[in-house]
Homo-oligomer: A and B are copies of this chain.
Amino acid sequence: MDPSLTAFFEPASVAVLGASDDPSKVGGSVLANLKAGGFAGRIVPVNARRALVQGLPAVASIREAPGPVDMAVVAVPAPAVLAVLKDCVAHGVRGAVVLAAGFREAGGEGAAREAELRAWLADQPLRLLGPNCLGWIRPTRRLNLTFAPGMPRAGPLGFFSHSGALCTAILDWSREHGIGFSLFASLGNQADLTETELIEALVDDPETRVILGYVEGVADGRRFFEALRRAAAAKPCVLMKAGRSAEGARAVSSHTGALAGSDAAFQAAVVQAGAIRAETLEDLFDLARALAAQPLPASRRVVFVTNGGGLGILATDAARNAALDVAPLAPAARERLARVLPPGAALGNPVDLVGDATAARYGAALGALAGGAAAHLVLLAPQAATDALGVARAVLGATRGWRVPVLAVFAGGGRVRPGAQSLEDGGVPCYPFPERAVRALAGMVTLAERRALPREAFAPAVDRARVRAHVDRLAAAGAAPLGLAEGAPPLEAYGVPGPGAPAVEGGA
């Protein structure tokens, strides 16, 4: 990891600039979060008018802080930010999180303020997150540098976001679903730290096993692509890109002043890098939970085990829709199942254990299926005698150590919740609807296939001089959108036959 960022990941001391006793103010909320989160390092409140803030000894300026300070959370209004950052640098602070809005996103005076901040930053040793962001959370360090209450659970998901409001919603939502993060970062206006640098840092972060991002736009496409390619080779990467439609891109522009960029170019970069894009926010976290807990699939094959025909059929339809392979079981597997299942059970695929399936029957069926290369999806609909918790334990017991993904669908509400929770705690992601589990599995398959492709295939030998000359010619003639005639020569330089090239034989 870039050594200039280590202060963000493991600070020994944190100062809160603009610390307040009033928890309804940002500077009060951040300090309260830092204390409540259980940060074990030193906390230094900075407040010009009080010697004690929230029970901690305060200093009037960070220049007066006793001993070194690694990180500063800047909770002062926008006009005061630059001055306190200068104090931070003077005291040797290496990283700052700037929460205040009132910069580029506000236009006019704010834009000028951000330009001044960026110009100053360029020559400083200080690294900066924000401004106009929710902040930074590192759960294993009990480090909550945000004004969002509560610490998320620690876990393997490294998440960054271009939207602060979404961050608050996701934090609130993830707490209920037991979703754990290695890092939770709101990037704001990216006066310094960008999504690209975050990706680069998360590759090297041993706590992060899956990289997740909500992206509105990418500033430096080439560097972003290279970072994503390196990241995707090391860890599963799932990105959600907003501003896909022209109208959405317009909304991005009025949101943070960022440009959404070409959606097609983003899509191509994600595919070529070996990463994957989520279609919806719910899909992003459905897939992330599966990636965090289970190995990548080795094939497109999936075997369904259910106690209800309807659930199995819905899962089968969804799987076929996603081009997964739900072929019937091989005769040997059917024979093994037949020995442990009652006569009414269906031994095809889905394997239907029928409505009165006990935990033991689930366990026995999974035991008979062990050793194959297929992913397994275990479905349960609560019926009169269903012991959802018992089934969950049987599933965990039977599949422990499997090298193929195991996902679950426990359909229903309160009656299946203890079982679903037990599965999640045991590392088997559990979904309320079959289609959502299948989409997550299909995402894992796509990611596995993309990561297995040789990256070289996407870097064709290219006649760069020819592309450059062509683009220069176009630019000289006045910039305009590229039509087929203008686009053909660069395509040809990349080895793609243009409209003037002879047609491939045998084409329709």
Interface residues of A, Cβ cutoff 8 Å to B? 24, 26, 29, 101, 106, 147-148, 161-166, 168-170, 172-177, 214, 216, 242-248, 250-252, 254-256, 279-282, 307-314, 316-321, 326-327, 344, 346, 348-350, 352, 355, 381-385, 411-416, 432-436
List 17 A–B pairs whose Cβ atoms lie within 8 Å, in order of A's numbering: A161-B310, A164-B355, A165-B307, A166-B411, A169-B382, A172-B413, A172-B416, A214-B310, A242-B314, A243-B313, A244-B321, A247-B349, A248-B314, A248-B316, A255-B309, A255-B346, A280-B433
- Minimum CB distance partner of A308 in chain B: B165
**Which residues of B lie under 8 Å from residue A282 when comparing CB positions?**
432-433, 435-436
Residue among A248, A383, A411 with most chain B CB within 10 A: A248
CB <8 Å contact, B255 and A310? yes
Cβ distance A411 to chain B, nearest Cβ, rounded Å: 4
Partner of A216, one of B243, B254, B310: B310
CB <8 Å contact, B381 and A415? no
CA distance A254 to B312 in the complex (A): 11
A247 with B326: in contact, given A161-B310, A313-B242 (CB under 8 Å)? yes
CB <8 Å contact, A316 and B247? yes
CB <8 Å contact, B382 and A255? no
**Which residues of B lie under 8 Å from residue A413 when comparing CB positions?**
172-177
**Which residues of B lie under 8 Å from residue A247 when comparing CB positions?**
316-317, 319-320, 326-327, 349
**Which residues of B lie under 8 Å from residue A254 when comparing CB positions?**
309, 346, 348, 352
A166 with B311: in contact, given A242-B317, A247-B316, A413-B173 (CB under 8 Å)? yes
**Which residues of B lie under 8 Å from residue A279 when comparing CB positions?**
435
A148 with B310: in contact, given A352-B254, A434-B281 (CB under 8 Å)? no
**Which residues of B lie under 8 Å from residue A319 when comparing CB positions?**
245, 247
- Minimum CB distance partner of A254 in chain B: B346
**Which residues of B lie under 8 Å from residue A415 when comparing CB positions?**
172
**Which residues of B lie under 8 Å from residue A414 when comparing CB positions?**
172, 175-176
Partner of A310, one of B162, B175, B176, B385: B162
CB <8 Å contact, B348 and A251? yes
- Minimum CB distance partner of A325 in chain B: B247
CB <8 Å contact, B169 and A317? no
Partner of A163, one of B106, B214, B309, B350: B309
Cβ distance A386 to chain B, nearest Cβ, rounded Å: 8
CB <8 Å contact, A168 and B383? yes
CB <8 Å contact, A169 and B381? yes
CA distance A452 to B245 in the complex (A): 28
CB <8 Å contact, B245 and A316? yes
CA distance A177 to B162 in the complex (A): 31
Cβ distance A260 to chain B, nearest Cβ, rounded Å: 8
CA distance A130 to B175 in the complex (A): 43
Partner of A168, one of B174, B256, B352, B412: B412
Cβ distance A176 to chain B, nearest Cβ, rounded Å: 4
Since A163-B308, A166-B411, A247-B327 are in contact, a sample of 11 more A-B pairs with Cβ atoms closer than 8 Å, ordered by chain A residue number, is: A106-B344, A173-B432, A175-B414, A242-B310, A242-B314, A245-B319, A247-B317, A248-B320, A254-B352, A280-B318, A281-B314
CB <8 Å contact, A411 and B250? no
CA distance A216 to B244 in the complex (A): 36
Cβ distance A28 to chain B, nearest Cβ, rounded Å: 11
Residue among A26, A165, A348 with most chain B CB within 10 A: A165
